[in-house]
């Protein structure tokens, strides 16, 4: 069990000593029991930090956002930023370090281990406890404990946990400056279980499945916004880099490069999601945030898992394993598979 007070004290201490300029963590949110991300800059604010099963957000996203807005750096005086990170979040930070998005000294990782459990899937909870809107959630060994108006409700964590947590490879943050919680052995589902089941279906059925999924996509770009790896200044679907001046002709505007249209249509939706999957190959750490935020429930993890497993099985590559690894597609081995080439 993680001692929340120790975590708060740690956050207050590093802010007090000036070791970091800000701490990104979670606090009690305004939407029911769910926690929300928060950046604190004063030691006394550390008391608002929380750690519970609703801390699903991958906070590595805010490290990226912070780098994009130099004005924000004045707030914390260019000092390192501390981030509270679960196992998956710490892997995301590792990938960002691998890509030199910032230096190791610019980030202070306060690791929190999910231990034997993981974070809550609100969709599953709605099925396990229908009609109940808990006021709070807490970890208790193998269970989640929900505070409701009718008293405490205990739910085995397995039944209400995110799928990604059930398949988690490393719930203990390997990259950390300080870590809370134990490295507990996990005996959940083997990784890629859903993927393996899906791959056994015939091609026509797979196509039917994806067609149905992508037809629903409304191109809200929530998956892109929530992903710490989707940090490009200009996304391939945006093509906003055409500088429009009074001399720009209508033909030039019409002829600008558009790889994928922004508007939602089946072919363009598929193009967008396939491009995203390819851009995330060897970088996606399976934090599952894209799938969680999708308003139309597209199983995006399935696509990303496919790329992750190919990277692992064909190239022996594990995303987020080490800062020193080269990027998947910027490296090669002499014995990479090439039988498919004529």
Partner 1 sequence: MSEQTPYEPRIVAFLCKWCSSAGSDLAGVSRIQYPANATPITVACSGGVSPQYILSALRKGADGVLVSGCHIGDCHYMEGNMHARRKLYLVKELLEFAGVEPERFRMSWVSAAEGAKFAQVVRDFVEDLRPLGPQDKLNAERP
Burial class (CB in 10 A: 0-12, 13-18, 19+), 322: exposed
Q: Which residue has the tokens 């987020």?
A: 320
| Residue number with CB closer to partner 1 (48 or 275) | 275
Contact call for residue 223 and partner 1 (CB under 8 A)? no
Scan residues 76-105 and list those touching partner 1 (CB under 8 A).
Answer: none
Total number of residues binding partner 1 (CB under 8 A)? 44
Q: Considering only residues 209, 222, 238, 312, which one is a binding residue for partner 1 as defined by CB under 8 A?
A: 209
Is residue 26 a contact residue for partner 1 (CB under 8 A)?
no
Q: Which residues of 296-312 are buried (b: 16+ CB within 10 A; e: fewer)?
A: eebbbbbbbbbbbeebb
The vertex-27 CA angle with 229 and 64, nearest 5°, equals 20
Pairing of strands 81-85, 22-28: parallel
Q: Sign of torsion, CA 32 38 41 46?
A: positive
Residue whose CB is less far from partner 1, 109 or 328? 328
Q: Give least dist CB 309 to partner 1, A.
A: 9
Retrieve residue 193's tokens: 């279980």
For residue 190, state whether it binds partner 1 (rule: CB under 8 A).
Answer: no
The reply to whether 212 sits near partner 1 by the rule CB under 8 A is no
The CB-of-51 to partner 1 minimum distance in angstroms stands at 36
Rule CB under 8 A: is residue 314 a binding residue for partner 1? yes
Of 104, 59, 120, nearest to 85 by C-alpha is: 59
Q: Which of residues 283-312 bind partner 1 (CB under 8 A)?
A: 303, 306-307, 310-311
Determine contact, residues 134/160, Cβ cutoff 8 Å.
Answer: no
Binding mask 143-182 for partner 1 (x = CB under 8 A): ----------------------------------------
Question: Two tokens at 251?
Answer: 């033909």
Among residues 77, 86, 68, 80, the alpha carbon closest in space to that of 25 is found at 86
Residue-level length of the chain: 342
Residue 41 or 270 having the CB closest to partner 1? 270
Is residue 337 a contact point for partner 1 (CB under 8 A)? yes
Contact between residue 219 and residue 272 where contact means Cβ atoms under 8 Å apart: yes
Closest distance between partner 1 and the C-beta of residue 248, in Å?
A: 24
In 3D, which of 205, 198, 218, 206 has the Cα closest to residue 266? 218
How far is 153 from 157, CA to CA, in rounded Å? 12
Contact yes or no for 181/90 (Cβ under 8 A) = no
Measured from the CB atom, the residue of 41 and 264 that comes closer to partner 1 is 264
CA-based R_g, the chain, Å: 21
Residue from 49, 90, 281, 284 in contact with partner 1 (CB under 8 A): 281
Among 204, 243, 251, 254, binds partner 1 (CB under 8 A): 204
Q: Which is nearer to partner 1, 46 or 307 (CB)?
A: 307
Cα 46 to Cα 339: distance, rounded to the nearest angstrom: 56
- Which of the ranges 1-9, 104-112, 121-129, 207-215 carries the binding residues for partner 1, by CB under 8 A? 207-215
d(CA 204, CA 82) in angstroms, rounded, equals 48
Residue 207 binding partner 1, by CB under 8 A = yes
- Looking at the Cβ atoms of 74 and 241, the one nearer to partner 1 is 241
Q: Is 40 in the site for partner 1 (CB under 8 A)?
A: no
Which secondary structure element, helix H or strand E, spans residue 154, and what is its range?
A: strand 151-156
Could you give the string, one character per residue 251-270, with x where binding to partner 1 holds by CB under 8 A and - elsewhere?
--------xxx---xxxx-x
327 lines the binding site for partner 1 (CB under 8 A): no
Binding site for partner 1 (CB under 8 A): 199, 203-211, 236, 259-261, 265-268, 270-271, 274-275, 277-278, 281, 303, 306-307, 310-311, 314-315, 328-332, 334, 336-338, 340-342
């Amino acid at each position: 069990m993680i001692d929340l007070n120790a975590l708060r004290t740690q956050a207050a201490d590093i802010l007090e000593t000036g070791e970091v300029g800000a701490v990104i963590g979670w606090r009690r949110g305004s939407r029911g029991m769910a926690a929300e991300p928060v950046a604190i800059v004063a030691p006394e604010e550390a008391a608002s930090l929380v750690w519970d099963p609703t801390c699903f957000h991958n906070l590595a996203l805010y490290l990226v956002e912070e780098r994009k807005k130099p004005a924000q750096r004045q707030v914390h005086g260019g000092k390192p930023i501390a981030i509270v990170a679960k196992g998956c979040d710490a892997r995301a930070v590792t990938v960002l370090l691998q890509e030199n998005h910032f230096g190791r000294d610019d980030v202070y990782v306060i690791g929190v281990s999910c231990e034997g459990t993981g974070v809550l899937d609100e969709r599953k909870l709605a099925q396990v406890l229908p009609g109940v809107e808990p006021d709070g959630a807490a970890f208790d060994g193998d269970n989640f404990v929900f505070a409701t108006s009718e008293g405490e409700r205990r739910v085995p964590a397995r039944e209400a946990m995110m799928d990604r947590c059930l398949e988690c490879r490393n719930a203990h943050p390997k990259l950390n400056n300080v870590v809370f919680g134990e490295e507990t052995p996990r005996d959940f589902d083997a990784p890629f279980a859903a993927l393996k089941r899906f791959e056994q279906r015939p091609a026509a059925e797979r196509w039917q499945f994806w067609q149905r999924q992508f037809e629903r996509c409304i191109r809200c770009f929530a998956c892109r916004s929530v992903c710490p790896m989707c940090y490009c200044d200009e996304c391939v679907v945006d093509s906003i880099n055409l500088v429009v001046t009074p001399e720009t002709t209508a033909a030039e505007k019409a002829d600008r490069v558009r790889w994928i249209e922004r508007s939602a249509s089946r072919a363009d939706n598929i193009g967008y999601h396939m491009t995203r999957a390819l851009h995330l190959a060897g970088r996606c750490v399976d934090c599952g945030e894209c799938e969680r935020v999708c308003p139309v429930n597209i199983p995006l993890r399935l696509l990303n898992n496919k790329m992750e497993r190919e990277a692992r099985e064909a190239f022996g590559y594990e995303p987020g394993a080490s800062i020193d690894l080269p990027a998947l597609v910027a490296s090669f081995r002499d014995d990479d598979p090439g039988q498919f080439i004529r």
